[in-house]
Amino acid sequence: MTADQITFVGTATTLIQVAGFTILTDPNFLHRGDRAYVGLGVTTKRLTEPALSPGQLPELDFVLLSHHHGDHFDRIAARDLDHDLPIITEPHAARKLRRQGFRSPVALSNWDSRTVSRGSAEVRVTSLPGQHAPRPFGYLVPPVMGSLLDFSQGGQRLLRLYITGDTLMHDGINQIAERFGDIDLCLIHLGGTKIAGILLTMDARQGVQALRTVAPRAAIPIHYDDYTLFKSPLSDFRKAAERAGLPSVVHYLNRGDSYQLGPGPGAR
């Protein structure tokens, strides 16, 4: 059996292997030089290579999709992923997936949950609020959800994992901190994405603020330096995090690297 681990594929794509579950997040398999469409006639060029292709993936239990943008669910994913594979996402993305021929999308509204079982193991997925654009520019981008994954085995908690999705710092993150304390690990989407000068994902400053608010034991930055629209490099976040003295231990992964989960929740 594969050791419990999280593999960073690139952009917001990760492979989560915990308690016998194998979960793919935000599948983006475009290659360096390919362009992703992000709406309103805007495309962005990929600057990195994904660490895996769809043909290299292990058997999946489900896909977790934060939102339906071209750098999170691309044309390669739409073509090559099993169209019967469950995809847990927010309602707008679920409708788009059905139009693309996917037969098993699961739509969750904010704070709703879905539990998936495998023998005595369970993972409960809870949809959390995200804000992909400052008001009043929400119409520029599709709705987005964050996700909380609670893994357990035989009724014993193994891991509480928060994935921010493409979001800015907003009141919903304070609500997440109030409702769900004791987060072991956070996959934080960074990048400082900008369109027409409008910030659409957390930059270094907001990323530090979010981790201060949610206070996970550990954090892994993802969704950075992959596309030309990403304007806040990982190096900026590293500097800001070092200056801030965060309550979280931040682990930095190269694409293709895996974070090994040890015997304690969120441990390496």
Q: How confident is the model at residue 41 (pLDDT cuts 50, 70, 90)?
A: confident
Please report which confidence band the pLDDT of residue 232 belongs to, taking 50, 70 and 90 as the band edges.
very high
Cβ atoms 71, 38 nearer than 8 A: yes
Reply yes or no on whether the pLDDT at 228 is more than 70.
yes
Per the document, the length of the chain is 268
Q: Which domain covers residue 88, as residue numbers?
A: 5-253
Question: What's 166's domain CATH number?
Answer: 3.60.15.10
Torsion of the alpha carbons at 196, 73, 148 and 22, rounded to the nearest 10:
-150
In a domain, 177, yes or no: yes
SS (H, E, C) 135-161: CCCHHHCCCCEEEEEEEEECCEEEEEE
* 233 in any annotated domain: yes
Q: Provide the pairing of β-strand 121-129 with 145-153.
A: antiparallel
Q: Alpha-carbon distance 51 to 39, whole Å?
A: 26
Q: Could you tell me if residue 13 is inside a domain?
A: yes
By C-alpha distance, which of 145, 142, 136 is closest to 163? Answer: 145
Residue 261 lies in a domain: no
Q: Residue 81 in 3-state DSSP? A: coil
Asked, for residue 258, whether it belongs to a domain, the answer is no
Q: Is the pLDDT of residue 15 over 90?
A: yes
Query: Residue 90's pLDDT is what?
Result: 98
| The pLDDT of residue 217 is above 50 | yes
Domain count along the chain: 1
Asked if residue 1 has pLDDT above 90, the reply is no
Q: Give the Cα separation of 81 and 103 in Å (integer).
A: 12
- Whole-number Å distance between alpha carbons of 264 and 55: 32
Q: How many C-beta atoms lie closer than 10 Å to residue 178's C-beta?
A: 9
Stated pTM of the model:
0.95
Is 194 part of any domain? yes
202 in a structural domain: yes
Within a domain: residue 267? no
Band (139; pLDDT cuts 50, 70, 90):
low
- Percentage of the residues of the chain whose pLDDT score is greater than 90: 88
